[in-house]
A and B are shown apart, each in its own frame.
Chain A
Amino acid sequence: MTVTKLKPVDAVVVGVGVAGSIICQELAAAGLSVVGLERGRMVDPAQDFAMPYAHDEFRHDSRSNLIQNLSRETITFRNAMSETALPMREIGSFRMGECVGGAGVLWGGLSWRFLPWDFETHSRTVERYGKKHMPEDCTNQDWGITYDELEPYYDQFEHIYGVSGKAGNLNGEIQTGGNPFEGARSREYPNPPTQATHAGHLFGQAAASLGFTPFSPPTSGSTREYTNLYKLMLGQCQRGGFCSSFTCAMGAKGSPLTAVLPAAMKRSNFELRALCNVIKVNLDSDGKRAVGVTYIDARGRTVEQPADIVIITSYTFNNTRLLLLSGIGKPYDPVSNTGVVGRNYSYQATGSVKLFFEDKTFNSFMGGGGSCTAIDDYNGDNYDHSGMGFIGGGYIVVNSRGAAPINNHPVPSGTASWGSGWKKAVAHYYDRSFAISSHGGCQSYRTNYLDLDPTYKDANGLPLIRMSFDWREPDLKMSAYVTKKAAEIAKALNPSKMSSNPVSGKYNIVPYQVNHNTGGVIMGSDPSTSVLNKYLQSWDVPNVFVIGASAFPQNSANAPTETVGALACWVADAIKEQYVKRPGLLV
């Protein structure tokens, strides 16, 4: 095999999505020579998502070609270690992006910060409830970084993506109209919050009547024209829907394509190479230092890109897989409970309550851009868990995404599943229904993990990543509890029919749930239980950094994107301000 060896660069970035694009821009702006490698294709929003094609639900959602092409690479899955993992042959539970911008092109825009509790779930639980309260076999651990340390970088990300919202806690002072449970913010959001939809408004009224504090959660669907930190202009969201799975034709959704890459692309010391699939991080002879990466380019050539710093910023699965394929960090073994790479894979437990009305209409097709009304009273440790048998929780939300009709034509349970009865119910309820979600987190457990599959391979002949995962009793209890609270709010709205659907039974990879897979390359303060230190730097190979939701030691209830972006800002700073001046372990 001929290998083309290229000229060395200062930094090579593997995967140009939410994290990778920020790293590319920040390091290039600091004067480093940077190459970004992306396995997916280039996307030109002005063409790929021009009006009216931007509003084609079937093209962009049902048959998206920006989601990972599984014919080349997938994952394998089993509920338990006693089973044989089988390949995920079609997309279901989650959707991995495959294009320049990654899943950051296709996201819905919800821009939550994590709660301060999320970063310290283990120590705060032990402190408040005692050690016995931690679920059996739960491997939760603190992140090694606190909310307060990350706050300036959350703020930075919000001013890159043009986040719209209302502060609930400004420097420790609770603010009317915002989320009173959020961590202290140093300043307001760059843009004002979204206006409630009819459904959101009713939910907010009912929640307030029960003593809760409803608010409009933060979103990257910009509520006004906004010039961001990189001097790029975001448009104003028109509330027309078509956001998640789509890219905004108005340029209103903060994404790598709108908010970051156009700035990076102007720099001569940055080069973006699309359709380049990295298969390995190359190490020197003693395995202590990365010398670059090997990738397969669009023409099928094997190319070696030498670099002083390797920053891996692909999705949770490939971040983990690339470390395992490259021999960086000790692979996790759940039997002996040793090793680290692949440890603490987690997900999110999301339940819902569906409400149907006879006398109300909602203009359900309006919304999107993160048009939500939520309460945070049952998230994290915002309520007393004594004697409950679980930790964590979820936020309760009406998310008015804009009801495109292929995916949104709900009928009450008990309706015929096809035929005239079904048709009547669809016609009647399409605009007379909405859902309240109980958007829950998920803890980490010893036997929920990622490793290399012993059997199945990708198109290059390399082993697929294998996911072993199932819901555990505490997470099911959490979902039942928070969904019951959502149902109480629903009842106050007097729907003619409603149904309650907490997470139950075994984890099933078939129905779509949420694109929030986490863990596998987790950060922490102890090298025996984490792959990365608090600067997301490999303990074993200090010129390798790995950024993504893969770094989360357990999953929050909130969407991960903003925290991934904030971590990218945090690492960019650590590299620019510390590592470049003094290469080596930063901790």
Chain B
Amino acid sequence: MPDSSAAPANAWLFLTRAEARFIDAALARLIPADELGPGAKEANVTCFIDRQLASGWGSASRLYRMGPWQDGSPQQGNQSRLTPQEIYRAGIRETNLHCARVHGRNFDALPVDIQDGILKELQDGKIELESLGSKRFFNMLWKNTEEGFFADPLYGGNHDKIGWKLVGFPGVAAANYVDLIGRHDEPYRVTEPVSILDIEQGRVQVDAQGSPKHIRIKPAGAPK
């Protein structure tokens, strides 16, 4: 069995080491390791976020970026001129300044119950950050956490398919569910979800059309 208790060591495309420590610490609270298994930090979601920030997405390459800039109603959506790179950079720096001012330490060095409180305040927009609303920073961090936890491992997160194993998602679909979709009382579960990375690295057999061959866990009582 591969060791899924720890994310692999990373080198960073965009994040500073201090920023990576902040994100690691936040991920460990957002989707914690617990009795159900490893969480977002162990799934290497920090690596996912780093790669996303270094991509075109990180510099808002597909967003409308022309002015004039002005605030609108909530229904009109995001009107911030900050790119995701700028949101993370400012959000982390300014949250750490807040933590140092109120609690005497950076976020990642605080006890977990205080970290939980800080994340809740960010989420509720209750921490005054200088450059942006704390809610916007939190929402982006949380959305990226969910993405990195459930996206194919080829993007750097969902290490060892931790997210997929948690919910029972089989990954890349097998060739044919046509005969199975009507078997309503038969949960379809696989011994190991299949990722694109698994297929490209030759760990999983595929058929002529390129669909993976799942190894199913036979439901109790099912015919062999």
Same complex origin of A and B: yes
Chain A residues in contact with chain B, CB under 8 A?
50-53, 55-58, 62-63, 65, 69-71, 73-74, 77-79, 83-90, 92, 195-198, 201, 236-242, 249-250, 361, 363, 365-367, 371, 402-406, 409, 417-420, 422-424, 426-427, 430-431, 455-457, 506-510
Q: Establish whether residues B181 and A58, one from each chain, have CB atoms under 8 Å apart when the complex forms.
A: no
- With A71-B64, A236-B178, A366-B180 as given contacts, are A52 and B77 in contact (CB-CB < 8 Å)? no
Contact residues of B: prevailing secondary structure: loop
Which one of A55, A69, A89, A250 contacts B79 once the chains associate, using CB atoms below 8 Å?
A89
Instruction: Report chain B residues within 8 Å CB of A69.
Output: 62
Residues of chain B from 6 to 39 with CB closer than 8 A to chain A in the complex: 29-32, 34, 36, 39
- With A50-B210, A62-B151 as given contacts, are A241 and B187 in contact (CB-CB < 8 Å)? no
Give the shortest distance, in Å, between B99 (CB) and chain A (any CB). 18
Which one of B64, B166, B200 contacts A70 once the chains associate, using CB atoms below 8 Å?
B64
Q: Establish whether residues A87 and B66, one from each chain, have CB atoms under 8 Å apart when the complex forms.
A: yes
Q: Establish whether residues B62 and A70, one from each chain, have CB atoms under 8 Å apart when the complex forms.
A: yes
Q: Establish whether residues B77 and A510, one from each chain, have CB atoms under 8 Å apart when the complex forms.
A: yes
Q: Establish whether residues A56 and B173, one from each chain, have CB atoms under 8 Å apart when the complex forms.
A: no
Instruction: Report chain A residues within 8 Å CB of B86.
Output: none
Give the shortest distance, in Å, between B196 (CB) and chain A (any CB). 5
Instruction: Report chain B residues within 8 Å CB of A86.
Output: 70, 72, 76-77, 79
Contact residues of A: prevailing secondary structure: loop
- With A51-B211, A88-B77 as given contacts, are A423 and B177 in contact (CB-CB < 8 Å)? no
Q: Establish whether residues B77 and A455, one from each chain, have CB atoms under 8 Å apart when the complex forms.
A: no
Interface stretch, picked from B87-95, B101-109, B128-136, B142-150, is B142-150
Q: Which residue of B lies closest to A403 (CB)?
A: B169
Which one of B60, B72, B77, B187 contacts A84 once the chains associate, using CB atoms below 8 Å?
B72
The distance in angstroms between the C-alpha atoms of A57 and B196, with both chains bound, is: 11
The distance in angstroms between the C-alpha atoms of A419 and B39, with both chains bound, is: 10
Which one of A52, A78, A423 contacts B36 once the chains associate, using CB atoms below 8 Å?
A423
- With A71-B64, A366-B181 as given contacts, are A424 and B188 in contact (CB-CB < 8 Å)? no
The distance in angstroms between the C-alpha atoms of A249 and B176, with both chains bound, is: 12
A/B pair count, beta carbons within 8 Å: 194
Q: Establish whether residues B175 and A238, one from each chain, have CB atoms under 8 Å apart when the complex forms.
A: yes
The distance in angstroms between the C-alpha atoms of A238 and B181, with both chains bound, is: 10
Chain B residues in contact with chain A, CB under 8 A?
29-32, 34, 36, 39, 57, 60-66, 68, 70, 72-79, 116, 119, 123, 142, 145-147, 150-152, 154-155, 163-164, 166-178, 180-182, 184, 186-188, 194, 196, 199-200, 206, 209-212
Q: Establish whether residues A431 and B167, one from each chain, have CB atoms under 8 Å apart when the complex forms.
A: yes
The distance in angstroms between the C-alpha atoms of A242 and B61, with both chains bound, is: 25
3 interchain residue pairs of minimum CB distance: A240-B173, A51-B210, A430-B167
- With A57-B151, A423-B166 as given contacts, are A363 and B77 in contact (CB-CB < 8 Å)? no
Residue picked from B60, B178, B180, B211, most chain A C-beta under 10 Å? B178
Instruction: Report chain B residues within 8 Å CB of A196.
Output: 182
Q: Which residue of B lies closest to A361 (CB)?
A: B187
- With A418-B30, A507-B75 as given contacts, are A238 and B66 in contact (CB-CB < 8 Å)? no
Q: Establish whether residues B73 and A242, one from each chain, have CB atoms under 8 Å apart when the complex forms.
A: no
Name 8 A/B residue pairs within 8 A (Cβ), A-sorted. A63-B57, A71-B62, A86-B76, A242-B173, A365-B173, A405-B150, A406-B147, A418-B142
Q: Which residue of A lies closest to B71 (CB)?
A: A86
Q: Establish whether residues B78 and A71, one from each chain, have CB atoms under 8 Å apart when the complex forms.
A: no
- With A58-B152, A240-B173, A405-B169 as given contacts, are A419 and B116 in contact (CB-CB < 8 Å)? yes
Other than the given A65-B62, A90-B63, 8 more pairs (CB < 8 A) read A51-B209, A55-B196, A57-B152, A74-B64, A85-B76, A250-B209, A367-B181, A419-B30
Q: Which residue of A lies closest to B30 (CB)?
A: A418
Q: Establish whether residues A424 and B36, one from each chain, have CB atoms under 8 Å apart when the complex forms.
A: yes
- With A50-B210, A240-B174, A405-B164 as given contacts, are A89 and B36 in contact (CB-CB < 8 Å)? no
Residue picked from A236, A240, A242, A455, most chain B C-beta under 10 Å? A240
Q: Establish whether residues A71 and B30, one from each chain, have CB atoms under 8 Å apart when the complex forms.
A: no
Instruction: Report chain B residues within 8 Å CB of A55.
Output: 171-173, 196
Residue picked from A406, A417, A456, most chain B C-beta under 10 Å? A406
Give the shortest distance, in Å, between B207 (CB) and chain A (any CB). 9
Q: Establish whether residues B31 and A418, one from each chain, have CB atoms under 8 Å apart when the complex forms.
A: yes
- With A92-B77, A510-B75 as given contacts, are A406 and B175 in contact (CB-CB < 8 Å)? no
